[in-house]
């Protein structure tokens, strides 16, 4: 199976004066065509920044300081700004988290769709409008032709999210990065959007989807494989089924243990003690050790690398040292 | 950054020090302003001559040792006249803004804090006042009561009153919604204590910025009105009057119009620098504008 | 349909405002000490002469009758006559209005063309040359009194370089180049103050908009920088700028008074000043009303532009 997107040792730092925060630290994973890869972690672990780093859409205070991001063999980190601009929206597209703030309030929905089509697919305006209607239909928006000239504020949150998705798939990207696509939506709408994403995944078998989320329930419904992120690092990766059945890293175990629907056990929800560490001052050794129930004396000292526990299933924990 | 502790109240003095350290603009503006105020305050000592003294031996004197800014057609020393003119400008600025703050701040505070009918009762007249163009008010007052520096101070204060009240009210509303105010209230603080201890120190920031800007504008208004004859009347010193007088002789003695104008610019600039500097530090996102 | 209702509502609201203004101006004129008859007769005034002039001008009638008389005339199209020259006020206004309008329009044009591009450039490249220039010019511009700037321009450009006239006015119909030359320094003076305020606001507004999520999303779509800045950002940033322009129209009108005085332009501003000093009631009252009307028109225009830019606040 070919590797569509290959991220190797990606490192991104945020600078503010003397303070340096390594928000993404030697992150590596691969995405294959037709696959949905989940990137899971709590808020503040660096997953969104990973997504923005791949798109090279970082704020001026941030810099990618190492690694490579290969899209179909092409290293995106070595591209010029102009080359990257052409790739964004066309070969890689992103769905943002909050549909309320992601759409420009003074432009019609049609305009925001048409401009992407004209930029990357070089279509004439009438052709682009027709294609826009087709796209809106594909994402499930009723009476799409009429809605082209409506403004974002005239739609509900769920509809707006569908539009973001329409914009994202407009140029049939090779990679689709979905950054918390359902977090800002009501639970009922969430299900609809997830269904839509699953449907798109089935229909566009050449596209790989990187799904960034903090919600394991979403992962369960949509993803084939998953990587778990903590404090800027990948701590576990593997097939969804395996990870849910037998999570190896204590962090993943804790995350899955704190899901309300697991096992139907009565009693208090186990919460993970402690707080997510400050990216400018990570704990020494294993970054999870202050909160880990199974930490032992080597943990604060030695930084674990990813160790294959079973084929295709890695965990970065000293417990699995040979 | 929600805190239910009264975390936001700390002595104003400390904050000023920190603000100065963090903003070069504010420091520059304050320094410049302080120098100008000092010059104005000590004008009789610093001036090289009596501002009204005419010296017919030196009409149209060029800037030099005897007359640092030159002299006008009556031989009056421009430098000294500028210094005394500053007194009037700064008096008008401080007086009008001071009055407006004195009355506008409590009005805005009460309107924002209590809300409801009180808010309406206080703010409707303010809105009506704001609808009047300032020029119209000033000219009419001056016309009816007679033009003078005192009239100017009162009229400008009246124009500024609703502006200050509005700003204070908006700021009070914003601060009142903060969690720490709710926290203090739930601990049984009386409304008066809430207002004084928690709301005012935090709500004053935009008002201070506004006040600085308005002081600069007051100086411009005084100069403009004196220029057209509706402000400070001779023989009282005024930078605007100097410019009006100087127009006739500016071909022969350009310094008579250059220096008073520069003086105005420096004064207004210092207030604007302070305002910009304060704004950068206290309100960088423009949220409380 | 909505547009018609909008206009209708606005016009209805305007009438009480204008009426109120006319009453206020009327009263103020009569409260201000000074007698038009005195001004007309000057040194030759005698009590009988003054009384005769009062009767001629209708000033011996009680105030409310004078007002109603004036309103009645006004509504039938008669704006009265200049007390001294007996020229119909309508004629005076017709002569003077274009001058002031041209001054305002030129100033607005010059300041928009300089301030907006500079403000946009400043925001797009923070800390760059444009940013520093914008901040400097902005700060300087709001600290400089416009009448002093006028004097400085006259001093250095007109008298010093001798390139442009220091006063006087050439009508547009007579000589286009001459007209523009006589308007150059006056509009530059007014434009400077306006441009300073505009550039600061543009920069601030653009900075705010450029930090928004939808701009990031626009970049994520791979759109060109020009498209992102002008199509996506500026259209949003323009909203507070338009509001500011509406407010600044008051500044323009006020500034026009001073500038017209200094540069000796025959516009509405200088007319108002002279007429006020002469206690020329009909002229002042009519001018005040005209200015009030202009304000209303500007307000309505602002609202319309606002609605065109921001679909959430459409009037139609």
Write the Ramachandran bin of A16: left for phi over 0, alpha for psi from -120 to 50, otherwise beta: beta
- Alpha-helix runs per DSSP H in chain B: 12-22, 24-41, 43-46, 78-114, 116-131, 134-145, 149-176, 179-186, 191-193, 200-228, 239-249, 255-282
- Partner residue facing B220 (CB), from C28, C145, C261: C145
Q: Looking at beta carbons, which residues of chain A come within 8 Å of C225?
A: 85
* pLDDT value, residue C2: 65
pLDDT exceeds cutoff 60 at C76:
yes
- Alpha carbon distance B170, B176 (integer Å): 10
Task: Please compute the mean of the pLDDT values over residues A75-99 and round it to a whole number.
Answer: 92
- In this complex, does chain B touch chain A, defined as having at least 3 beta-carbon pairs under 8 Å apart? no
User: Which residue out of A60, A104, A128 would a mutagenesis test of the C interface target, given it has the greatest number of C Cβ atoms within 10 Å?
Assistant: A104
Confidence of residue B11 (pLDDT cuts 50, 70, 90): very low
Q: At what angle do helices B255-282 and B200-228 cross, to 10 degrees?
A: 160
B285 touches chain C (CB under 8 A): yes
| C-alpha span between C79 and C92 (Å, rounded) | 10
Tell me what pLDDT residue C265 has: 87
Asked if C143's CB is within 8 angstroms of B216's CB, the reply is: yes
pLDDT value at residue C197: 92
To test the contact with chain C by mutation, choose from B32, B219, B269, B288 the residue with the greatest count of C C-beta atoms within 10 A, namely B269
More confident residue, A305 or C72: A305
Does the beta-carbon distance from C222 to A90 stay under 8 Å?
yes
User: What pLDDT does B174 receive?
Assistant: 83
- CB proximity B141 to C under 8 Å: no
Q: Which of B89, B212, B257, B283 to mutate to test the interface with C (most CBs of C within 10 A)?
A: B257
Return the DSSP state at A263: T
Q: Chain B closest CA to C314's CA: distance in Å?
A: 24
- Nearest CB neighbour to C250, from listed B133, B260, B286: B133
Q: State percent of chain B over pLDDT 70.
A: 84
Which H helix or E strand runs over A228? strand A225-230
What pLDDT band is residue A70 in, cutting at 50, 70 and 90?
very high
What torsion, rounded to 10 degrees, do the Cα atoms A109, A115, A120, A126 define?
Answer: 90
How far apart (Å, rounded) are the C-alpha atoms in residues B107 and A294?
62
Contact of B89 with B238, CB cutoff 8 Å: yes
* Portion of chain A with pLDDT greater than 90, in percent: 54
Classify residue A142 by its DSSP letter. S
Shortest distance between the Cα of C115 and any Cα of chain A, in A, equals: 23
Local structure of residue C279 (DSSP, 8 states): T
Predicted confidence (pLDDT) per residue in C103-129, tens digit: 989 999 999 999 999 999 999 988 888
Neighbours of chain C (3+ CB pairs under 8 A): A, B
**Minimal CA separation from C182 to chain A, in Å:** 41
pLDDT score of A75 more than 80: yes
Do residues A64 and A53 touch, judged by C-beta distance below 8 A?
Answer: yes
pLDDT of residue B283: 63
Mean pLDDT score, A85-91:
91
In this predicted complex, what is the ipTM?
0.88
pLDDT in tens, B59-78: 777 777 777 788 877 778 88
Beta carbons of B144 and C152 less than 8 Å apart: no
pLDDT (average), residues B232-256? 86
Cβ neighbours of residue B121 closer than 8 Å, sequence gap 6 or more:
none
Mutate to test the interface with C, among B129, B135, B244, B279 (most CBs of C within 10 A): B135
Using one digit for the tens of pLDDT, what is the confidence trace for C168-211? Answer: 777 777 777 888 888 888 999 999 999 999 999 999 999 999 99
**How many angstroms separate the CA atoms of B121 and B21, rounded?**
41
- Give the pLDDT of residue B39: 84
Q: What is the pLDDT of residues B139-158, one digit of tens each?
A: 777 767 777 888 889 988 98
What phi and psi, each to the nearest 5 degrees, are found at residue C311? -60, -15
B134 vs C contacts (CB less than 8 Å): 254
CA distances from C76 to C23, C70, C71, C88 (A): 18, 10, 9, 14
Taking contacts as CB-CB distances below 8 angstroms, the residues of chain B near C143 are 216, 265, 268-269, 272
pLDDT for C262: 84
What is each CA distance from B253 to B10, B82, C161, in whole angstroms?
54, 15, 17
Q: Per residue in C245-278, pLDDT tens?
A: 887 887 787 788 888 888 888 888 888 878 777 7
CA of residue A72 relative to chain centroid, distance: 19
Please, are residues A144 and A75 in contact by the beta-carbon 8 Å criterion?
no
pLDDT at B7 over 70: no
pLDDT at B49 over 80: no
Q: Do B261 and C151 touch (CB under 8 A)?
A: yes
Q: Annotate C150-181 with three-state secondary structure.
A: HHHHHHHHHHHHCCCCCCCCCCCCCCHHHHHH
* Interface size between B and C, measured as CB pairs under 8 A: 78
Digit-coded pLDDT (tens) for A214-240: 988 899 989 999 999 999 999 999 999
Q: Which of B16, B230, B76, B253 is nearest to B142 (CA)?
A: B230
The answer, yes or no, to whether residue B287 has pLDDT greater than 50, is no
Distance from CA of A90 to the nearest CA of C (A): 7
Q: Is the pLDDT of residue A10 over 50?
A: yes
How much is the average pLDDT of C142-152? 91
Q: Map residue C110 onto helix, strand or coil.
A: helix
Q: How high is the pLDDT of residue B289?
A: 40
Average pLDDT over every residue of C91-110 = 88
- Percent of chain A whose predicted confidence (pLDDT) is above 70: 95
Residues in chain C with CB shorter than 8 Å from the CB of B247 are: 151
């Amino acid at each position: 199976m070919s590797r569509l997107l290959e991220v190797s040792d990606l490192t991104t730092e945020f600078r503010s004066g003397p303070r340096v925060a390594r928000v993404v630290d030697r992150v590596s994973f691969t995405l294959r065509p037709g696959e949905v890869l989940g990137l899971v972690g709590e808020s503040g672990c660096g997953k969104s920044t990973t997504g923005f780093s791949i798109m090279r859409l970082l704020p001026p205070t941030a810099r990618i300081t190492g690694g490579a991001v290969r899209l179909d063999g092409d290293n995106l980190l070595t591209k010029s700004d102009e080359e990257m601009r052409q790739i964004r929206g066309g070969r890689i597209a992103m769905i943002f988290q909050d549909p309320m703030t992601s759409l420009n309030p003074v432009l019609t929905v049609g305009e925001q769709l048409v401009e992407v089509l004209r930029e990357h697919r070089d279509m004439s305006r009438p052709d682009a409008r027709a294609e826009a209607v087709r796209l809106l239909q594909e994402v499930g928006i009723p009476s799409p032709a009429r809605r082209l000239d409506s403004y974002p504020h005239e739609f509900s949150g769920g509809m707006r999210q569908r539009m973001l998705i329409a914009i994202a798939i407009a140029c049939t990207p090779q990679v689709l990065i979905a950054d918390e696509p359902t977090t800002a939506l009501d639970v009922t709408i969430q299900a609809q959007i997830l269904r839509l994403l699953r449907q798109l995944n089935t229909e566009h078998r050449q596209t790989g989807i990187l799904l960034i989320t903090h919600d394991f329930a979403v992962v369960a419904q949509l993803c084939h494989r998953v990587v778990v992120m903590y404090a800027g690092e990948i701590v576990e990766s593997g097939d969804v089924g395996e990870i849910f059945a037998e999570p190896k890293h204590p962090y993943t175990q804790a995350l899955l243990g704190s899901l309300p629907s697991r096992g139907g056990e009565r009693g208090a929800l186990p919460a993970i003690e402690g707080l997510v560490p400050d990216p400018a001052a990570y704990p020494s050794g294993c970054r999870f050790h202050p909160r880990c129930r199974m930490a032992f004396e080597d943990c604060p000292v030695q930084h674990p690398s990813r160790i294959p526990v079973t084929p295709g299933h890695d965990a970065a924990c000293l417990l699995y040292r040979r | 950054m929600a805190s239910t502790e009264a975390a936001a109240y700390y002595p104003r003095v400390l904050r000023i020090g920190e603000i100065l350290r963090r903003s070069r603009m504010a420091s520059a503006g304050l320094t410049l302003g302080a120098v100008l105020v000092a010059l104005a305050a000590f004008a009789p000592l610093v001036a090289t001559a009596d501002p009204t003294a005419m010296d017919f031996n030196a009409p149209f004197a060029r800037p030099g040792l005897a007359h640092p800014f030159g002299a006008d057609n009556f031989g009056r020393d421009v430098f000294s006249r500028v210094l005394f003119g500053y007194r009037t400008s700064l008096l008008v600025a401080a007086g009008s803004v001071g009055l407006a703050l004195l009355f506008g701040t409590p009005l805005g505070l009460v309107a924002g804090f209590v809300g409801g009918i009180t808010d309406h009762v206080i703010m409707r007249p303010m809105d009506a006042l704001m609808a009047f163009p300032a020029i119209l008010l000033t000219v009419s007052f001056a016309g009816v009561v007679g033009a003078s520096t005192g009239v100017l101070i009162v009229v400008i204060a009246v124009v500024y009153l609703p502006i200050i009240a509005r700003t204070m009210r908006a700021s009070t509303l914003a601060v009142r919604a903060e969690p720490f105010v709710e926290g203090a209230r739930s601990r049984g603080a009386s409304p008066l204590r809430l207002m004084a201890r928690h709301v005012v120190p935090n709500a004053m920031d935009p008002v201070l910025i506004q006040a600085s800007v308005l002081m600069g504008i007051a100086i411009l208004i005084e100069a403009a009105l004196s220029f057209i004859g509706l402000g400070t009347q001779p023989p009282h010193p005024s930078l605007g009057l100097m410019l009006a007088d100087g127009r006739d002789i500016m071909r022969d003695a350009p310094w008579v119009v250059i220096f008073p104008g520069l003086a105005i610019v420096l004064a207004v600039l210092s207030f604007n620098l302070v305002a910009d500097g304060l704004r950068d530090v206290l309100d960088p996102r423009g949220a409380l504008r | 349909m909505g547009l018609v209702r909008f206009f209708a509502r606005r016009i209805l609201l305007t009438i009480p405002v204008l009426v109120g203004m006319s009453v206020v101006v009327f009263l103020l004129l009569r409260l201000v000490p000074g007698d038009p008859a005195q001004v007309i007769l000057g040194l030759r005034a005698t009590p009988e002469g003054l009384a005769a002039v009062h009767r001629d001008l209708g000033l011996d009638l009680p105030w409310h009758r004078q007002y109603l008389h004036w309103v009645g005339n006004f509504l039938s199209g008669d704006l009265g006559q200049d007390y001294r020259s007996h020229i119909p006020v309508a004629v005076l206004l017709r002569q003077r209005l274009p001058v002031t309008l041209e001054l305002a329009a030129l100033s607005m044009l010059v300041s928009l063309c300089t301030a907006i591009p500079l403000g946009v450039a400043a925001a797009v490249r923070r800390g760059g040359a444009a940013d520093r220039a914008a901040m400097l010019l902005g700060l300087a511009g709001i600290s400089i009194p416009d009448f002093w700037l006028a004097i400085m321009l006259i001093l250095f450009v007109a008298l010093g370089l001798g390139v442009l006239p220091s006063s006087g006015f050439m009508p547009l119909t007579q000589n286009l180049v001459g007209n523009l030359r006589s308007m150059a320094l006056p509009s530059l003076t007014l434009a400077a103050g306006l441009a300073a305020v505009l550039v600061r606001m543009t920069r601030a507004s653009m900075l705010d908009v450029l930090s928004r999520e939808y701009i990031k999303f626009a970049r994520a779509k791979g759109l060109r920088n020009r498209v992102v800045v002008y199509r996506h950002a500026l259209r949003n940033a323009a909203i507070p700028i338009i509001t500011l322009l509406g407010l600044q129209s008051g500044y323009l009108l006020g500034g026009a008074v001073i500038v017209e005085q200094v540069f000796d332009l025959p516009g509405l501003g200088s007319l108002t000043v002279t007429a006020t000093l002469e206690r020329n009631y009909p002229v002042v009252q009519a001018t005040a009303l005209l200015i009030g009307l202009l304000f209303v028109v500007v307000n309505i225009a602002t609202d319309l532009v606002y609605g065109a830019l921001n679909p959430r606040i459409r009037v139609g």
